[in-house]
Amino acid sequence: MNLPRLAITHRPVTLVFAAIVLIVGAMTFNSMSRRENPRITIRAATVETYWPGASALQMEDLVTDVLEDSIVQIEEVETVESISRTGYSRIDVTLLDSVLADTLDQSFDLVRDKVDAVRGSLPEGCGEPFVNSDFGDVSSVCVVVHPTGMTRDEPYSYRELELVAEDLETELKRLGSVASIQTFGVPDETITLEITAARWSKLDITQDELAAAIDERNIANSGAVIVTPGRRYPLRPTGELITTDEIAGVSIRSVEGQRSVTIRDLPFDIQRGPEDPRSSGVRFASPEDRSGRAVLLGITMKQGENVVQLGSDVDEIVERFRQTSLPEDLEISRVNDLPRQVGALIADFVESLWQAIVIVLFVAFLMMGWRSALVMATAIPLCMISAIAIVPRFGVELEQFAIASLIIVLGMVVDNAIVVTDNAQRLMNEGVPREKASIDGANELARSILSSTLTTVSAFLPMLTIAGGTGEYMRSLPIVVSATLLSSYLVAMTVTPMMCSWILRPQKNKAGQQSRVGALYTTLIHRCVRFRLITLSAAGLAVMTSLGLIPVIGTAFFPGGVRDQLFVHVTAPEGTSL
């Protein structure tokens, strides 16, 4: 099939097809899923166990080792690492990269089965091990509800902040792009019975008896069901202890069994409040607001949604909530803003695209004239937009690695258009008619351009065979590069010849006459050939200098992320009060 001839002889069809590709690509660009990083499968889980009062050695010998010996029997497990501290054990389980995403839940179920199998072997008083395999979702937007001003007191309790956060969460959950919302910074509420050691020693009641009396009185289970021919009536017991007065009224029988007293009759100080010590907490501070209590909402986006649009929707809801439901001395602030960061990445790509077009126009204008420059410049947006219209069909989203792939391939897509345009211009200068020169200029190089394109594509496609999280993270690179390069070949065989026959004209330079830039280049080449030793020595010195700079510059498989955020990790000695 003679693609250049078809494109030129059916120019309206070619123009309509190019316009359709541009429209579809632009619509796909505006609607395709946006996120910060590629979506990958996390093949890891943690097993956490609490045993209050146990030493780190006891946790390791009696809990961690028992669980590890059971978990390592699973064939899909690659590594098992553990940390044992006072009253706490954590085991990190990593599965093999060969475990497919579809069977990942089954592998984690095997881990849970192995943990359940040895649960009866754990010491008395040890908590139940908890297997957490939910590592795939990250919060796209984090907002904090916090008091305003620089006052030193805490005007709001944790419960009051939580109620405001719950109202905001209800509004945010109405967004169709929100998958889940997690609340952080609200401590568990507890009811404590405090007494001095001296008074406790005078009571003829043990701690176990006190706890047993409360447990017997606290009925939190569901009741029975009365079934009649027409209806079912659930029975709900009313013995659940909720308030401090209800706990104070619990009857306790002394050891001798001579009389019965309530907790209210004993010298206990019954307090209701947040757990102490807290396992986690959130505080917010800014130049305008003093550090104080805060409640954080972590908003997770559904797969396939646009994180930039999610950010706009969250801003709209927060602003409406601020005007209608938020007290004047409370504020809602963002502390993690992926929509803004992803929007900046996309803006950088669009800016790079325009810069590439301008650079191609400028260089081609200097070397070949404005007509050739215009033909070459049209190839860049058409190739890029064509690739954007294709890659979502292969599961590629608009994230930073896909954007980096588009920027990498920017310098490659124009190569095919350059050689076709230059060859067509050469034939026109030799007297060949414009239409025939455009067709022959593309056909003469079609096989060479195809071989070059396929060679470059074949260098990237093997990346699709990389297994595990690394392969999933890099998957967009070979797909984006291959789609863009193949699009550039089709553009070079269709749109570029049509543009050449439309725009290019024979150049009326005298025989042997060169432009000023061409003359300078010819002089430089002649001198390099004449002074071969100096040329080769300079090239070798440049290579050695580049290699010597590697230790200074450093190496990394992926560049570090650039964010306007700082993460400070503080490790304190065991037992340090926070």
Give residue-wise pLDDT tens across range 99-155: 887 888 888 999 999 999 998 888 888 888 999 887 666 788 899 998 887 666 677
Omega prior to 237 cis, within 30 of 0: no
Asked if residue 510 has pLDDT above 60, the reply is no
Rounded CA-CA distance 151/148 in Å is 8
- The closest alpha carbon to 99, from 137, 43, 46, belongs to 43
Rounded CA-CA distance 83/288 in Å is 40
Run of H or E including 164: helix 158-172
Rounded CA-CA distance 382/210 in Å is 78
Q: 400-411 burial by CB neighbour count: b if 16+ within 10 A, else e?
A: bbbbbbbeebbe
Per-residue pLDDT reduced to its tens digit, 372-420:
888 888 888 899 899 999 999 888 888 888 888 888 887 788 888 889 9
Rounded CA-CA distance 363/505 in Å is 19
Task: Note the pTM of the prediction, 2 decimals.
Answer: 0.72
pLDDT value at position 292? Answer: 80
3-class SS of residue 141? strand
For residue 40, CA distances in Å to 45, 121, 398, 404 come to 15, 36, 14, 17
pLDDT value at position 457? Answer: 92
Rounded CA-CA distance 300/142 in Å is 9
What would the two tokens of residue 166 be? 């719950």
Rounded CA-CA distance 319/436 in Å is 63
Asked if residue 446 has pLDDT above 50, the reply is yes
What would the two tokens of residue 200 be? 């406790």
Rounded CA-CA distance 335/26 in Å is 32
Q: Phi, psi at residue 204, to the nearest 5°?
A: -95, 50
Q: If you ran DSSP here, which 8-state letter would residue 574 be given? A: T
304 Rama class: left (phi>0) / alpha (psi -120 to 50) / beta: left
Residue 60: which residues within 8 A CB-CB, separation 6 or more?
A: 82, 84, 89
Query: What is the overall mean pLDDT for the chain?
Result: 84
Rounded CA-CA distance 562/564 in Å is 7
